[in-house]
Copies of this chain bind each other. A is one copy, B any other.
């Protein structure tokens, strides 16, 4: 489909669900309390200005609206259908809707996938019908959706939240209900609330895509238990996050990733890591709690994205400002260095005992005007990117007047976020309402203000970070790899021999120590003379995993005689200790100088595809877990970041006067493994451990390579 057609189609779907010209409620009911009644009432009462068609074969009128016996009886065009009939007849209703040209269908009814096999079949049938008529489906088993600007309450939730910039998409209906109740009390404004239900058709990614185009939506919050289509999420969400912030609370982290893994990379990747990597790649922020999710929503919907990490704290009390400064340090925010001019102004305008460096302590007797003066002065400083204003209710404190002053100042500095911390109870209650109403986020403690601010700042950095989106491709020997994999498949093996694994990475341009497979003594000697001494020799057999234990490894061989002796001994040992093993031969390998040991690996995630790992190698991998992850394909910048964000980077740069390791060669290796993983979907896992890294410009060598295919 061409781009124009696609965006047109998107607009159509968005209109059908968010601002349809007409809505039919199939299963409308006259009985108060019934879902089919509540939906009609909500539609009628919410201020919706389109046409409403209640459908009920037994009723003539519902809530004063003309009732139709069937969808097919409606003469007008029906854009959105809301279904609240028993599960057994939903398919029939969907057929009617399809015939009637309905564009969007919200199925509230339960009794589908969530009840087991019978329901799964029912859901599959429903989806088939919708696809046939090119009709998009929300649900089944959902609460419906709400758009406050149309306005449209296509749900059975009685309350509409007030208007605001937050869109909330939830895989939990109960969470929608709780949030609606909370939002009413806290006066938090929403643009849309969407309950996804079973996601038979439309999922979080579809709605993210639609809401990216919604001008009233400033921020998208998602409660997510699992992603339906990881690759599509990776494709769509980066486009969305370039337009507006997306914050996701991913639950179910504890039992995820239980799949057994053969590689280090697989066993470390485990739970949650793939989601983290996916969110990072897509510029999605990850909330650590429900509270954080909505704190970020509120802040994003009212505050600008600051230019940088410099924060100023204004306070009328020492203790809370120390707590705030601690939180800044913890979140890696920078306590702004005020410019000399600002400090001078503060010195002149504040009492002598005040602190005119950051945190700016304007003392316990500060009235509203002193807050105004201090806040205006610091926000005028170009080294200040954002402000946290702390108020504790002391004897003379004027919470309400101070709140009003903050509101006035906000409009003068539209590009700098202001977050308020008003501590206490009754004495600050009214002031807090004033701040909230005017779009100043306000918190009962400093820590929450700072952690929320750090989220906004992070999004600003995500927007700026996107410089390198090119994924380098190397000229590689794809054909050799294809042949090896085909052979392994033919032989129904899953774990590649180390010789094969090394050949594969070598074909992708990753250097390995010169090595050859010898099947008899003559071949071994020839190989040895070609490669040069000193040499190592190792038994090659898919059955022998612990080669050293059975005497299958000989090191530091320096002559033809030693090679002959070693070959015979290895073979004898193998036959002695593992008589059943299938022996492919003996590997003759050049002994290479020891380098710094790192690991580069890949584990194919079921949802998101190849997850590439870099880290400290050798025996430390599993224990110290000093590793980093990115999803393939990987850009040069990402590969570099993977290296620099590990603690071991300090080791690679060189400690105590050591020379730096060849970082470029590691970057190169990561990128080649990324390419290999993208080219061959059959490869399930790769471990290069250790990858020996030598001094700058001296490259790397893949010492030990493990590959499994599926």
Contact = CB atoms under 8 A, between A and B. Distances in A.
Contacts of A392: 174-175, 177-178
A676 B616 CA distance: 36
Interface in A260-288: none
Contacts of A175: 317, 319-320, 392, 423
Interface string A412-428: 00000000000111111
A426 B174 contact: no
Contacts of A172: 317-320
A63 interface: no
B619 A647 contact: no
Nearest to A391: B178
Given A177-B424, A424-B182, A619-B656, A319 B289 contact: no
Contacts of A448: 291
A446 interface: yes
Interface residues of A, number: 74
A473 interface: no
A541 to B, nearest CB: 19
A319 B252 CA distance: 9
Interface stretch (A11-19, A124-132, A322-330): A322-330
A186 interface: yes
A319 B174 contact: yes
Given A172-B319, A320-B172, A424 B328 contact: no
A626 B648 CA distance: 12
Contact of A291 (B322, B393, B447): B447
A181 B322 contact: no
A353 interface: yes
Q: What copy number does this chain have within its complex?
A: 2
Contacts of A316: 174
User: Interface centre among A290, A364, A393, A648, by most B CB within 10 Å?
Assistant: A290
A692 interface: no
Contacts of A447: 289-291
Interface in A93-149: 115
B623 A648 contact: yes
Contact of A424 (B173, B178, B318, B446): B178
A117 to B, nearest CB: 14
A171 interface: yes
A384 to B, nearest CB: 19
Contacts of A624: 616, 624, 626, 647-648
Contact of A329 (B253, B322, B395): B253
A394 B626 CA distance: 45
A174 B425 contact: no
A365 to B, nearest CB: 11
Nearest to A390: B174
A681 interface: no
Interface string A617-630: 00110111110000
Interface string A309-351: 0000000111110110110111000000000000000000000
Contacts of A619: 651, 655-656
Given A445-B291, A624-B647, A656-B619, A322 B186 contact: no
Interface string A528-549: 0000000000000000001000
A666 B54 CA distance: 79
A423 B178 contact: yes
Nearest to A327: B289
Interface string A213-234: 0000000000101000000000
B289 A174 contact: no
A243 to B, nearest CB: 27
Contacts of A655: 619, 622-623
Given A174-B320, A317-B174, A323-B251, A425 B186 contact: yes
A40 to B, nearest CB: 16
28 contacts: A170-B319, A172-B318, A172-B319, A172-B320, A173-B317, A174-B317, A175-B317, A175-B320, A177-B393, A177-B424, A178-B392, A181-B423, A181-B424, A181-B427, A182-B423, A182-B444, A185-B429, A251-B322, A252-B322, A252-B326, A253-B329, A254-B326, A289-B447, A290-B447, A291-B447, A623-B647, A623-B651, A624-B648
Interface of A: 33, 115, 156, 170-175, 177-178, 181-186, 223, 225, 249, 251-255, 289-291, 316-320, 322-323, 325-326, 328-330, 353, 364, 392-395, 423-429, 444-448, 546, 616, 619-620, 622-626, 647-648, 650-651, 655-657
Given A178-B320, A254-B328, A289-B447, 6 more contacts: A173-B317, A178-B423, A181-B427, A249-B323, A253-B329, A616-B624
A-B CB proximity, top 3 nearest: A172-B319, A185-B425, A174-B317
